[in-house]
Structure 1
């Protein structure tokens, strides 16, 4: 028996040409899957017009009642049989005819009959109260077309047949051409016999997930069905029919146990594939565990004939108004080639993903969240079961788990525990904090008056307390969670008490001053000693508590300047507004040379080298030299008032010319002109938007005022004094992103790729999970809606486009070159109402070559879906073809073929 939860999507079996034994397995999976779905009787939207249920307004509504009682008194020992045993209400549009002789009531045209829990609406209804039976059928309209199909409803069960006979006493019914819905299936049966409330017999039945039950693209035909709700379904010979053509896929009989549970545990059937390097394989064989209504578990496995195997465990959980999340754990043991061959290799790779979100309504004073993506650096490059180019090209995996708690004390206190992880997939270096502690107490204003007004230098003085603690690791893939990783851990804690104030100066200036005291605790220090015998420095790690204390002072002054340039009310651009925010800051940090020791002597016996025992600490080292720096910054925004194109509007429209244009530099008063130079480079950055905010552009540059010598080293000489310009541009960059669609706002499409660490757009192609390819790879706003071909289709084709451009200039050492210049574009369009196409590509103008390229095609086959992806270039080149039924219950019925991988 095969059971599967319908909302879980996995690749379980694929049709392979010429392998006829797999066709039988596929059809078995259909019946076993159907046996695990819930069956409910629901209304089916039939294209055939059933009887309308709206009330008639052209005449008064009259519903006669028939009350069970003897209407004629007879002198007889045997009492006359009573009519039914309850009230019967009925009405009709044309007439309601009562035949006392034959004991029948005939309702014609929009007839309605109500008796106990039975509701019957039809074109014609004949009630035989002698036999306690009712008949309902269709009637012909003026053109001779049969209309007003019966609509029979008893309790939760509802059908729309061509005609029906029902006995009120025995509760038996004979239904012709019934149409009903059982879970995802739509069922039409030539004859349905309702034996009683618990047994149904169907003859000439067809099952399908197509929207049109009368003209489906495919269906499963069976002549005999016995259905016992909530217990079992037994069918006779069943075969699959596509486009009204019977196929060889058939089963002599089938038995399905039924369950009222929404989720049922069961086996997930595998799919067959072959690889050039790992042999034949069975992929995605597994079992689904419906553990409870709040969480589940799916276990999947792959096996290859060369000995490779893979395991995956996926679980989703949720509790209403509390939390929700999912966990994916994936492990692969990959073997390439054969033992003894030079290209033989074996490796174990894994990936762990965890996403958790807590409902803020459950406890507003505490939050818990998790976003984890960690594992082997080569996982996405070596994984066989998915084609995720966006994740392959990403160089960083990151994770974060945090818990925050707020204490409603006076002053308020906050505590945060965080575990973070950052992994470079190229160098395989991992930086991790496990955990990081952050605690703080809100600002306290000790000099504020009883009125609570914080105004002026004194009243604005405030202080707070911050605590930070870290347990940090720096390791690699090979040492991750091994003893060496924990041996090299860096543990520290830092306390800080910032004191600050702010006030107005000369009415137009905002001033502030602050000082900060810090005390840092560490558990490891170093001791260095010069070994004359070895002629080298020996470093010894000392475990034990140690601490150092530092303090600093800073002040700032800033203002805002507004300028408006009026160009005239008759101009297209009426005025330009310029807002400048200059600021100057001064920071002083004294020398803490007392924390420095010396080692090594020269020939004269004098000490030559200084060091601090806190080197390599998690919070850095105390400063050795005085820091006496003043910083300058200027931010600008430009906006304009333009005349609106709509002549009916009198007010001009505001548009942003430059969101920001920033300049920043600093001057060091303690610079000695040798190791350090007084002026730092001027950093320029800015950004703006075009085309109704559809295009974002950001730019930046670094301007160095100093010249360089022949070796590229900065000299204590201004560039203008060396015969150059005032500033020497050492680097510059421009990036542009443009996203547009005639279907409205373009939504995120690559959510799984983003979760894996890739992009959330499709510039690097769509994320193709080979476990399941039934879902559309295009951003369809209404996948469930019908595509209607109109005469205006050629004039407006739905499409969307994403464009990205990047330019980088380098001139650090007079190279004066464009180091990066590339463009990437992704376009998706509806070629026809049923065909969708897309392409992602780009060009590198520096390397003079095409960057990542992917072609995507998809055909909507109503109940089926066909898709083809092709990546022609690079190490990630591949192709994938898929055709299968969209329904999750019949996801086994598919054919998936893809290029083999040599990874």
Structure 2
């Protein structure tokens, strides 16, 4: 202690006890000083009546008298002093300041400074400031924060300035508490998907910043980005927009020729913002150069939006698309796509010149069950030109191209909570064959059903026995049906051939037990059909042919049927011993016999002359061609036989710690069915129907699905291929003649990573009618390019990650075999295999292949090769279909971020789809 200076003693003794209270004492002294100034500046209220002053008796000599005479004058002057106009000063801070530092917090009262050093923190209102050093000038209402050097001389503890939702990490900052203005050096901040770094930033107020020497990027590392946009002058409004002057794009530190005189980046915190969608350039051999997918996005409100897109080719072809999504929480959600294209091939005057208009309409709507539990509304619409997906200039979807059917359904249903309960539904359906261009449409279909009624059931207790289980229903089905073609769709000709009908059915049924182990059921079904159109068939001598004349007017027919069935379940177990690998096999059989009878309704049939003489007559019914069919002229008296089988095994578990054996399924189902016609006379009709065999199972931990089927005919055939009333075994053959057989095998296997996560593929493929898997390749949408890579930050060095990474992969196999032997041809009709494989070659490279081989046609089926490269902030992919009718290639490179999705380059080449 003797070697230390006195000043050191003073610092240690005096500073430490006042370390936590000194600032409060200084503030208290300031407030007391301001308070005393306030007392002296109080107004002196002028009295209305002057107070008379009395001269005190003089007990002194001249000098004292003179002084005493001056006193009244002074008081009178004080009474006439004017009101004080000095403005009362407010406190220099409008909130409480909290601060702390690891090394020290020093207060300089003379300079009005508070200095915080090492891990300094300061909190004031909505402002949070953390830095190596913080200096607060409470007289100027300013604060300064900066870095400090560590023992090695490197700068550490960069400032972190946070105000509300905005956060900045600069080298240093100077901020004024009163004006809210600031100057920031080398600031770094995140605004949505953007990362911004600027040499100098001037904070004008809470909502406007001016930046100088700034760079914008979506890269994770703002100091060493893969790319950035360099600009010198920027006006930045957090959460809304960024407006810049001359902007140049820099890739890998190298300036590129890509520059704009000014740039505008929307940064709204809203879910969507309206804006222009930039088109992509392409070219075609027959249509010339083109701009595709250019348009505008309208963010109409929080519940729905609209996207308008267009394509234009220099030969005059063009296309328009309108896409809208809408949603309301707990009510409904859906989307609408309307596509229209005017296609021109070649040039006017050339022999191969052609012109055609195609369109496609898609609508998907789903109503939330919470909106109304007693009613529902849904829609799934996909209709338009049959050749749209084959000839569209904007669709490259092989799965949709190979699909031959478009279908739609719109339905509304409502339940009436009456006794008995009533259900009603209205629907419109559409089915379109893209090959034949035939369209079947119902507009609308009315369905009404009344819940089951048990007239003989007791009010309490269970329903048991034949009579107590008798129940009946009422069902109504009405349809307005159209059959038309592509060219007549929604034209007057379409509605002229409309068919209208209504079907009433009353099923009466019961079920009961027979001999304890047999379950029996019986049913009687009454049906009445109403039509508004019937036919009258006659021979027209003028035209020399039989013609049908449409008769307008109400007409009806009534039919009834009877059916009954009995069945049971038989269990069988084959034990092999506890010391065996296979402990036992369980066989479950469910045999059943059914009987059905339908009488003849010949009373609804008439005769007509089939030739000019009138001697040859044939029978017909005026209800032919009706949407609910026509009554039968022959009675039906058929016995049916069905047998279903299930095989299950118990095997020893590979895990020796488990006591119970493991159950595995050998055959999910093995079904056999046939029927016998009791009315068959043996000459003109054959009694036994072919035996149909079908089955399926799952192998390799349910990764392989195997399904098979066969048709076995007990009768022989003649030389022309017709069935004859001779059993095949009596004709020198086997017991059954296999007329057809088929088998399909689907096998999927994947690594653990691919097996755990589901692929989020584009649902648009399924909506267009294509396959959801990638056996026909991935869908290549020019406008919506989706990455297969997960956006995960690299926690390790890239080289270390490469050698430690587990490369996920998946494979899908599909095998199909069809055998035909209807006329003893013994021919393999179809024999093909399809394979799809996807793998991560490296953590940044993905590859995929879809291909197959047709062993009958001896050729390779659809083949697609695809690659994708993760370029950190960018993504690149390449899809190539090397041969076939749908050969094409597509190359894409662009920024992953959605806010810069228009910064991309896309090039593709497809086979020019000729208009036919």
Q: TM-score, normalised by structure 1?
A: 0.89
Q: How far apart are 1:109 and its partner, in Å?
A: 2.9
Q: How far apart are 1:840 and its partner, in Å?
A: 0.2
Measured against aligned partners, the alpha-carbon deviations of 1:9-42 in whole angstroms (never above 9, x if no partner) come to xxxxxxxxxxxxxxxxxxxxxxxxxxxxxxxxxx
Structure 1 equivalent of residue 783 of structure 2: 771
Cα distance 1:862–1:583, how it changes in 2: closer, same or farther (>3 A)?
same
Contact conserved, 1:416 with 1:437, CA < 8 A, in 2?
yes
Aligned with 1:823 (options 833, 840, 855): 833
Structure 2 equivalent of residue 676 of structure 1: 685
Structure 1 equivalent of residue 809 of structure 2: 799
Structure 2 equivalent of residue 173 of structure 1: 182
Structure 2 equivalent of residue 846 of structure 1: 856
Cα distance 1:165–1:484, how it changes in 2: closer, same or farther (>3 A)?
same
Structure 2 equivalent of residue 570 of structure 1: 579
Structure 2 equivalent of residue 310 of structure 1: 319
Aligned with 2:437 (options 403, 409, 428): 428
Cα distance 1:186–1:229, how it changes in 2: closer, same or farther (>3 A)?
closer
2:870 is equivalent to residue 860 of structure 1 = yes
Structure 2 equivalent of residue 475 of structure 1: 484
Structure 2 equivalent of residue 42 of structure 1: none
Cα distance 1:190–1:670, how it changes in 2: closer, same or farther (>3 A)?
same
Contact conserved, 1:216 with 1:243, CA < 8 A, in 2?
yes
Contact conserved, 1:232 with 1:257, CA < 8 A, in 2?
yes
Aligned with 1:758 (options 733, 758, 770): 770
CA distance in 2, matches of 1:838, 1:256: 36
Measured against aligned partners, the alpha-carbon deviations of 1:642-701 in whole angstroms (never above 9, x if no partner) come to 111111111111111110000000001112334431110000000000111111110000
Segments of structure 2 that go 5 or more residues without pairing to the other structure are 1-18, 42-87
Aligned with 2:708 (options 699, 706, 714): 699
Structure 1 equivalent of residue 79 of structure 2: none
Give 3-state SS (helix, strand or coil) of 1:594's partner: helix
Q: How far apart are 1:94 and its partner, in Å?
A: 3.4
Structure 1 equivalent of residue 398 of structure 2: 389
Contact conserved, 1:837 with 1:856, CA < 8 A, in 2?
yes
**Greater share of residues in helix:** 2
Cα distance 1:182–1:611, how it changes in 2: closer, same or farther (>3 A)?
same
Give 3-state SS (helix, strand or coil) of 1:484's partner: helix
Structure 1 equivalent of residue 846 of structure 2: 836
Contact conserved, 2:885 with 2:911, CA < 8 A, in 1?
no
2:842 is equivalent to residue 883 of structure 1 = no
Aligned with 2:133 (options 124, 141, 145): 124
Cα distance 1:715–1:181, how it changes in 2: closer, same or farther (>3 A)?
same
CA distance in 1, matches of 2:899, 2:801: 36
Structure 2 equivalent of residue 321 of structure 1: 330
Structure 2 equivalent of residue 247 of structure 1: 256
Contact conserved, 2:541 with 2:612, CA < 8 A, in 1?
no
Q: Which has the higher contact order (CA 8 A, sep 6+)?
A: 1
Structure 2 equivalent of residue 552 of structure 1: 561
Contact conserved, 2:648 with 2:666, CA < 8 A, in 1?
yes
Stretch deviating more after TM superposition (147-156 or 415-424): 147-156
- 5 Å-filtered alignment, 1:125-144, equals 125-141=134-150, 143-144=152-153
2:31 is equivalent to residue 69 of structure 1 = no
Structure 2 equivalent of residue 14 of structure 1: none
Structure 1 equivalent of residue 123 of structure 2: 114
Q: How far apart are 1:875 and its partner, in Å?
A: 0.9
Give 3-state SS (helix, strand or coil) of 2:204's partner: strand
Cα distance 1:507–1:145, how it changes in 2: closer, same or farther (>3 A)?
farther
Measured against aligned partners, the alpha-carbon deviations of 1:384-420 in whole angstroms (never above 9, x if no partner) come to 1121111111111111111111111111110111111
Stretch deviating more after TM superposition (538-547 or 625-634): 538-547
Q: How far apart are 1:734 and its partner, in Å?
A: 0.6
- 5 Å-filtered alignment, 1:33-44, equals none
**RMSD between aligned residues:** 2.4
Measured against aligned partners, the alpha-carbon deviations of 1:860-880 in whole angstroms (never above 9, x if no partner) come to 111111111110111100111
Q: How far apart are 1:538 and its partner, in Å?
A: 2.0
Q: How far apart are 1:234 and its partner, in Å?
A: 4.2
Structure 1 equivalent of residue 358 of structure 2: 349
Structure 1 equivalent of residue 344 of structure 2: 335
Q: How far apart are 1:787 and its partner, in Å?
A: 8.4
Q: How far apart are 1:229 and its partner, in Å?
A: 5.6
Give 3-state SS (helix, strand or coil) of 1:391's partner: helix
Structure 1 equivalent of residue 305 of structure 2: 296
Contact conserved, 2:539 with 2:609, CA < 8 A, in 1?
yes
Aligned with 2:735 (options 723, 726, 737): 726
2:198 is equivalent to residue 189 of structure 1 = yes
CA distance in 2, matches of 1:791, 1:261: 37
CA distance in 1, matches of 2:535, 2:243: 78
Aligned with 2:905 (options 877, 895, 900): 895
Structure 2 equivalent of residue 51 of structure 1: none
Structure 1 equivalent of residue 881 of structure 2: 871
Q: TM-score, normalised by structure 2?
A: 0.88
CA distance in 2, matches of 1:258, 1:889: 8
Structure 1 equivalent of residue 159 of structure 2: 150
Cα distance 1:102–1:855, how it changes in 2: closer, same or farther (>3 A)?
same
Cα distance 1:577–1:412, how it changes in 2: closer, same or farther (>3 A)?
same
CA distance in 1, matches of 2:204, 2:729: 102
Measured against aligned partners, the alpha-carbon deviations of 1:604-644 in whole angstroms (never above 9, x if no partner) come to 97553101110001001101111000100000111111111
CA distance in 2, matches of 1:511, 1:523: 40
Measured against aligned partners, the alpha-carbon deviations of 1:53-86 in whole angstroms (never above 9, x if no partner) come to xxxxxxxx98997484335967988999966343
CA distance in 2, matches of 1:145, 1:113: 24
Contact conserved, 1:226 with 1:233, CA < 8 A, in 2?
yes
Cα distance 1:814–1:254, how it changes in 2: closer, same or farther (>3 A)?
closer
Q: How far apart are 1:892 and its partner, in Å?
A: 2.1
Cα distance 1:590–1:63, how it changes in 2: closer, same or farther (>3 A)?
farther
Segments of structure 1 that go 5 or more residues without pairing to the other structure are 1-60
Cα distance 1:377–1:73, how it changes in 2: closer, same or farther (>3 A)?
closer
CA distance in 2, matches of 1:379, 1:642: 54
CA distance in 2, matches of 1:202, 1:631: 85
Contact conserved, 2:144 with 2:174, CA < 8 A, in 1?
yes
Contact conserved, 1:65 with 1:89, CA < 8 A, in 2?
no
CA distance in 2, matches of 1:354, 1:64: 72
Contact conserved, 1:66 with 1:88, CA < 8 A, in 2?
no
Q: How far apart are 1:791 and its partner, in Å?
A: 6.1
CA distance in 2, matches of 1:652, 1:497: 51
Aligned with 1:526 (options 530, 535, 544): 535
2:170 is equivalent to residue 161 of structure 1 = yes
Cα distance 1:143–1:824, how it changes in 2: closer, same or farther (>3 A)?
farther
